[in-house]
Amino acid sequence: MSSYNSPLPVGSDQGTGAYAVAIGNNAAGTNNVGNSTDSAGNVRVDFVWGNYPMQPNDERTDGGTTTPVAANANQNYNWNGYSEYPSARLTPATSNNHTVAEAEWNDYPSFLPGVGNYMITAASGNGTTVTYTSQNKLAVGDTVNITGLTASAYNLSSATVASADALKFTVTNAANAGEITGQWYGKVQATNALTAYDGAGITFIVVPSVLGKTTALALDELKDAGYEAANITTAAGATNTATQVTQVNATSTTSATLTIAGGTTSWPVGTKVTITAGTGIPTALVGTFSVTGGSGSTIIVSGTGFTVANSGAITPGTVLKGTAGTIRTQSVAAATANVLSTATITITPWAA
């Protein structure tokens, strides 16, 4: 094992090991799962021992065996004349502690700590009550799922918390597999705090745009963004009166400007419109399209296969409506930030 002094900042110029200074002075980056890496591409923090904090990466050799090297007073201070044994670069297969160091906390044990998610390090049962050792913020009455413990009898679904404090909690259950300690993969998830993407547990959110989406997809996206399901209201369908298109100017094969009373005031950017066949309307413009721009008297729609041309004035008989069942408006504008997940939002679809 390497000789370590007190922990130093990651990549410190004073870190132990032959390449510590080089690492400290060179640019680093991140690996493919987002963990911070040193200049050699290794996870910056790669050593942990018992209750000691993780130690700085000192660029040990990558390999399977440890390598004895001559030590002198400058290397180990107190053991002049002895050999120092730096370990090979730690690998996830070596031990649980090494896994922590290699993967870092957010990938070990494969879940992100957060509201309703907590580690379990020990458990015991007496035939009526199971006690779990866990730093938590649970409350009496919370419903939890417990997984990952070596004694499967203590892995429970939809268990109700009977008591809880900052270091432990209990559930009423007949499981009795003795006491288990040293648990690395034990997890408790409060299902009433994180239910089916309903947004609970997320404090602030950025509001997404759901204009033009079907009502079902809009609801899913708002929940995924963090809105709690109970705080999303779907209003009755908006009046959807057919309106005459009086001119079509296809400026490219993918974009056309339609002159129509109301323009983007009636059909906001992001919404969908449906155009029916009629005099002066190109075949490629019959169908459903997204509004990408316009003004109070025009809308710009995007599509494919348009013929670049300007129709000029169109006689009555061609109409445009909002696409039924897609969202016309949302009460909180897209990209609004710092919105509480407990805030309310109303979405209004086009009526048929």
Decide: residue 1, CB within 10 A, 0-12 exposed, 13-18 middle, 19+ buried. exposed
Assess whether pLDDT exceeds 80 at residue 67. Answer: no
**How far, in Å, CA of 171 to CA of 128, rounded?**
9
Evaluated on CA atoms 224, 225, 230, 232, the torsion sign reads: negative
Domains observed in the chain: 20-106 (no CATH), 117-190 (2.40.30.20), 204-236+330-349 (no CATH), 243-323 (2.40.30.20)
Average pLDDT for residues 171-190, to the nearest whole number? 89
State the average pLDDT for the chain.
74
117: confidence class by pLDDT, cuts 50, 70, 90:
confident
pLDDT for res 41? 67
Give the three-class secondary structure for 177. Answer: coil
Least confident interval from 17-26, 80-89, 256-265, 326-335? 17-26
Could you tell me the CA-to-CA distances from 163 to 5, 305, 330 in Å, in that order?
42, 65, 42
Find the DSSP H helices in the chain: 20-25, 73-76, 96-103, 215-225, 263-266
Burial 199-208 (b: 16+ CB within 10 A, else e): bbbbeebebb
Least confident interval from 5-19, 114-128, 299-313? 5-19
Assess whether pLDDT exceeds 60 at residue 241. Answer: yes
**How far, in Å, CA of 31 to CA of 57, rounded?**
15
Higher local confidence (pLDDT), 232 or 28: 232
- β-bridge partners, 199: none
pLDDT for res 214? 95
What is the per-residue pLDDT across 71-107, written as a single tens digit (0 to 9) for each?
A: 444 544 454 454 444 444 444 444 444 444 444 443 3
Q: Among all chains, which residue has been given the structure tokens 């602030």?
A: 204
Please indicate, yes or no, whether the overall pTM of this predicted structure exceeds 0.85: no
**How far, in Å, CA of 155 to CA of 147, rounded?**
5
